[in-house]
Chain A
Amino acid sequence: MKKQIWTAVAALMLMTAIVIPGIAEGMTKEQATVNAKKLFKEFPFEVVDVRESELKGLWQVGLVLENRYRVLYLDSKGEIAIFPGQETQGHMIALDKMASLTSKAIQELGSIDFNLLPLKDALILGDKKAKIKVAVFDDPL
C-alpha cells in the first residue's frame, strides 16, 4: 500500500516536471528559424543553438550568419527580436512591422510640446499664415 502511494507521488512529480514553464513554452530550432526569418528575410542563416537567456522570457538563439557566429534574442511569441549586430545595434525590433521599438522610444524621449518652443523671435521662412509650421534650431554660421 505504502509503495503504491510513493509510486503515485513519483508519477505526479514526473508529470509536474514535464509541464514546468520554460519547457512548456519552449522554443525549438525550427520555431527560432521561422521567427528569425522574419528579420533576415532571404538572407541565409542557420540556427545552431536555442536556449533560454538569463532574462526570463527571452530566448537566446545562436546562429551562423555570413559564416560567423551571432546571437539573436527572441521572445516566445515570435513578436520581438533583439539583434546586437546590425545598424540598429541592440535595438528591440517589432517583427510584424520590422520597426525598431528602441528608435521609437528614443524619438519619443526627444519630443517636445510644440507650444513650448521659443517661436516668438524666430525668423520665418515662408508664408506666416502657412498651415504647417516646422521649428528649426539653427546655427547660422
Chain B
Amino acid sequence: MKQIIEERKDIAFYLIMYPAAHPQAKDAIDYALCAKTNKERLERFEKSFDKKPTPKAECDKSVVPDNMEFGRKYRISGTPTMFLQDGSRLGGAVEKDELLKAIDLSSEKK
C-alpha cells in the first residue's frame, strides 16, 4: 500500500481497524485513533506496536466493536480484506500489480 500511494497520488487507502485475529490489539488501536489529526493517528499507530504496554487512550470511544460487528455481518473473515469503490471485494493479500489492475478496473466501471 505504501508503495502504491508513493506512485499513485490519486489513490488513498482507508484502513478500517479490524483486529479479527488479535483482540488484544484493541487498546493500541483505541490509543492511535484518539489522536486528533490523521497524521498523528498514523504515527501513533505505527509506533504503538513497538512499545509495551500501550499508553492508555485518552478518549472513551472505541470503534473496534462497531467494526467487528460490521465485519461479522458482512462475513469479513480474514485480513486484509479490501473493498473498491464499485463495491467489489478483494480477500487476502494481493500482489501490487494485481491490486492496481483491480483498482483501475473498478474506477473505470464507476
Contacts and interface: CB of A to CB of B under 8 A. Distances in A.
A118 interface: yes
Contacts of B58: none
Interface in A127-141: 127-128, 130-141
B42 to A, nearest CB: 6
Contacts of B21: 139, 141
Interface in A18-71: none
Given A117-B83, A118-B70, A139-B20, A133 B9 contact: no
Contacts of B20: 137, 139
A125 to B, nearest CB: 4
A138 B18 contact: yes
B63 A121 contact: yes
Contacts of B8: 132
B9 A125 contact: no
Contacts, number: 154
A131 B2 CA distance: 17
Contacts of B86: 111, 114
B25 A136 contact: no
A59 B33 CA distance: 58
Interface of B: 1-2, 4-5, 8-22, 24-25, 28-29, 32-33, 38, 41-42, 45, 49, 63, 66-67, 70-71, 74-76, 79-89, 91, 103, 107
Interface of A: 107, 110-114, 117-119, 121-128, 130-141
